[in-house]
Chain A
Amino acid sequence: MEYLQQALFVLMAISAIYLFAKKVGEIRRNIFLGKALDLSDNAAIRWKNLLLLAMGQKKMFKNIPVALMHFIIYAGFIIINIEVLEIVLDGILGTHRLFLPLLGGIYNWLINIFEVLALGVLVVCVLFLARRNWLKLKRFVSKDLNGWPKTDANFILITEIILMSLFLIMNAADQLLQQNGAEHYAVTGSFSISSFLMPLFEGFSNSTLIGIERTAWWIHIAGIFAFLNYLPYSKHLHIALAFPNAYYAKLDSPGKINNMPEVQNEVLYAMQPELAPANAAPPASFGAKDVFDLSWKNLLDAYSCTECGRCTAECPANITGKLLSPRKIMMATRDRLEEVGKNINQNKSFIQDGKSLLHDYISVEELRACTTCNACVEACPVSISPLDIIVELRRSLIMEESNAPQEWNSTFSNIENNFAPWKFSPDDRDKWASEMAS
């Protein structure tokens, strides 16, 4: 019987990890559908960004109470994983509290820390759930989140509440079994949080308690494995991708728009034909129409987005009721990329589906509303740039489709012919100076 449980556990663990690894492989493949971009420079600055922005969650601290609550979940998640290690080893080896004899007195102290953190995580998740569903914060009631994204967010919080509760229930039953001197339940000393739950199970027989303890143990670890496999389909993936995304964050001034060397060269060859190589092929396309035309960092951005909506809450266009929502830009990019990924899974390579990120997922009206003010970039706690994607899509609109509002076409022709966006004579450019002279 014991061996059966161990075998079952190993089977569960292996399948969970296998499925997770497979999906991670797909996500990696999808990200690298994006265009090449060399971000291997400035390792020291990048590590610093990773430490400050991802580990230290620097940007979250613009709102200190929320940042602290978020930090509790984050720290709890990481530290409680040490306990998960013991649970996994116990599951494989058929032991119970494997680390107890190894750690002696420290063990009780450690479990106490885990329990305090578990309670912290539980309380914060309840508060976040309340905030998300009842406080009607603008960024949480936004239509961006209608349907699945809203369910996803609640599901994550509820799962964490259940997992933490199971951990505490398991420990409470364990302590009662220890008191009763049940076989296999070594004495650990009292646990600070779960001991408050013990009265709930007072007077239960040892076999009932073992049933409770084992059931909680199994659902807890099975829940963790299930949650692991839920991650890649969820906005919660940010817990992993925030780190590489901070590392690969843009280091240039935020005001700098990425250069297009292919256009730079086209202009150079037009101006100085002697520099043009004999068989220079013109670039295939300009800007981004679909996810393939974005850089892999843009696509990593899309998978890193946890849909918090801080970008949209700061976006001047969105604040004034325009259709543009930077969060939706990121969600649309991920949705399209996932669709392309599924297409590749089914057909081995991408088969044209007559759709594209531009138009089918992101409309012209949204793109036209952006003021390139960088508020969304500044607001993002995980170093995402919706602006980068917006500019790339605008480039495709203008340079591939010649799709510009009439006023912009006039602006362009004024710049080209009069060297200013307005229709003034270039000869009057220094008229103000002659006025000063007189």
Chain B
Amino acid sequence: MKINTMAEMMANGETPEILFWVGCAGSFDQRAQKITKAFATILTKVGLKFAILGKEEACTGDPARRAGNEFLFQMMAYQNIQVLNGYNIKKIVTTCPHCFNTLKNEYPELGGRYEVIHHTTLLQELINEGKIVMKEGGSFKGKKISYHDSCYLGRANDIYEAPRKVLEALDAELVEMKRCRTNGLCCGAGGAQMFKEDEPGTSRINMDRADEALETGAKFIAAACPFCNTMMSDGVKNREKESEVAVLDIAEMIAESMV
């Protein structure tokens, strides 16, 4: 499967329908790379013409800005906007809610104006349009799935329905955690916490959240963010439940279940 970069497309005189912003986790983290590959596979299967920036992509600056390093954020934003505007990008899809939030909400006033959608929203659209068709009796049919709301998708951007609608297409049994939607509990990674040790406390946020997910009795914990995915996987592993409960991105579940 050939994944085109913007540079390659430009060279061939082609324009993609959408730019797939992979993000740092999706590019480098071994676990998140699987999500990236699953999503790229879906896009290829449905025949959506997309491109990536490849080596020209750089961190959006989300963790730097939230840690308080505005200079670094502004440098990354400047650089990325130069590249994106240089390619005259109109529409971006991303599998990371942090990239999504920064590109959608923080770049416009810095001169980067694009239509930005999260991959769960795009997947929902593709399902609604009949472009994604599920296999008969897929591996999630009738199974209990619990969806963990990502803060930067939910509270930050009011996207609660799209991921759930996509999961419904799997014909699975959706079970909600005690805290969900607007009350959803953070996985503990946001605000640059992913990149440092926890402050002293009585427990870890991802452990508390993993416990909530395990309490539902779900066999699958669905995530829509590579960082949530890591945090929830670590929590499940810590409770020694990784052989019974899988933490999967919604894109991985769809890639596995579609025709």
Enumerate chain A interface residues (CB-CB to B < 8 A). 62, 252-257, 259-260, 263-264, 266-268, 271, 286-287, 314, 316-317, 319-324, 365, 368-375, 377-378, 391, 394-399, 404-405, 407-408, 410-412, 415-416, 419-422, 424, 426-433, 435-437
- Asked if A399 contacts B68 (CB within 8 A), the reply is yes
- Asked if A375 contacts B27 (CB within 8 A), the reply is no
Does B42 interact with chain A (Cβ within 8 Å)?
Answer: no
- A254 contact set on B, CB distance < 8 A: 155-156
When A and B form their complex, which 3 residue pairs have the shortest distance between CB atoms, in order from nearest?
A255-B156, A321-B202, A394-B68
Please measure, in the bound complex, the distance between the C-alpha atom of A84 and the C-alpha atom of B2, giving whole angstroms: 78
- Asked if A369 contacts B190 (CB within 8 A), the reply is no
Please measure, in the bound complex, the distance between the C-alpha atom of A373 and the C-alpha atom of B198, giving whole angstroms: 15
B79, chain A: closest CB distance, angstroms: 8
Please measure, in the bound complex, the distance between the C-alpha atom of A430 and the C-alpha atom of B3, giving whole angstroms: 9
- A271 contact set on B, CB distance < 8 A: 78
Max chain B C-beta neighbours (<10 A), residue from A255, A374, A407: A255
- Asked if B195 contacts A421 (CB within 8 A), the reply is yes
- Asked if A317 contacts B205 (CB within 8 A), the reply is yes
- Asked if A373 contacts B155 (CB within 8 A), the reply is yes
- Asked if B3 contacts A433 (CB within 8 A), the reply is yes
- Asked if B71 contacts A263 (CB within 8 A), the reply is yes
- Which residue of B has the minimal Cβ distance to A377? B155
Max chain A C-beta neighbours (<10 A), residue from B66, B70, B194, B207: B70
- Asked if B105 contacts A430 (CB within 8 A), the reply is no
B107, chain A: closest CB distance, angstroms: 10
- A321 contact set on B, CB distance < 8 A: 200-203
Using known A-B contacts A411-B192, A430-B52, A433-B52, determine if residue A263 contacts B70 with beta carbons closer than 8 Å.
Answer: yes
Using known A-B contacts A253-B101, A263-B70, A407-B197, determine if residue A375 contacts B151 with beta carbons closer than 8 Å.
Answer: yes
- Asked if A319 contacts B185 (CB within 8 A), the reply is yes
Using known A-B contacts A317-B199, A371-B190, A411-B195, determine if residue A252 contacts B105 with beta carbons closer than 8 Å.
Answer: yes
- A-B contacts, CB under 8 A, total: 219
- A259 contact set on B, CB distance < 8 A: 106, 109-110
- B22 contact set on A, CB distance < 8 A: 429-430, 432
Please measure, in the bound complex, the distance between the C-alpha atom of A375 and the C-alpha atom of B76, giving whole angstroms: 27
Please measure, in the bound complex, the distance between the C-alpha atom of A432 and the C-alpha atom of B208, giving whole angstroms: 32
- B191 contact set on A, CB distance < 8 A: 370-373
- Asked if A395 contacts B68 (CB within 8 A), the reply is yes
- A427 contact set on B, CB distance < 8 A: 55
- A267 contact set on B, CB distance < 8 A: 71, 74-75, 78
Does B5 interact with chain A (Cβ within 8 Å)?
Answer: yes
Query: C-beta contact mask, B62-75 vs A, less than 8 Å → 1, else 0?
Result: 01111111111011
- Which residue of A has the minimal Cβ distance to B74? A267
Using known A-B contacts A372-B190, A415-B72, A430-B55, determine if residue A257 contacts B199 with beta carbons closer than 8 Å.
Answer: no
6 contacts between A and B (CB under 8 A): A264-B110, A287-B68, A322-B199, A371-B151, A412-B72, A433-B40
A374 contact from B151, B195, B209, Cβ within 8 A:
B151
Does B125 interact with chain A (Cβ within 8 Å)?
Answer: no
Does B59 interact with chain A (Cβ within 8 Å)?
Answer: yes
- B205 contact set on A, CB distance < 8 A: 316-317, 319-320, 371
- Asked if B182 contacts A371 (CB within 8 A), the reply is no
Does B85 interact with chain A (Cβ within 8 Å)?
Answer: no
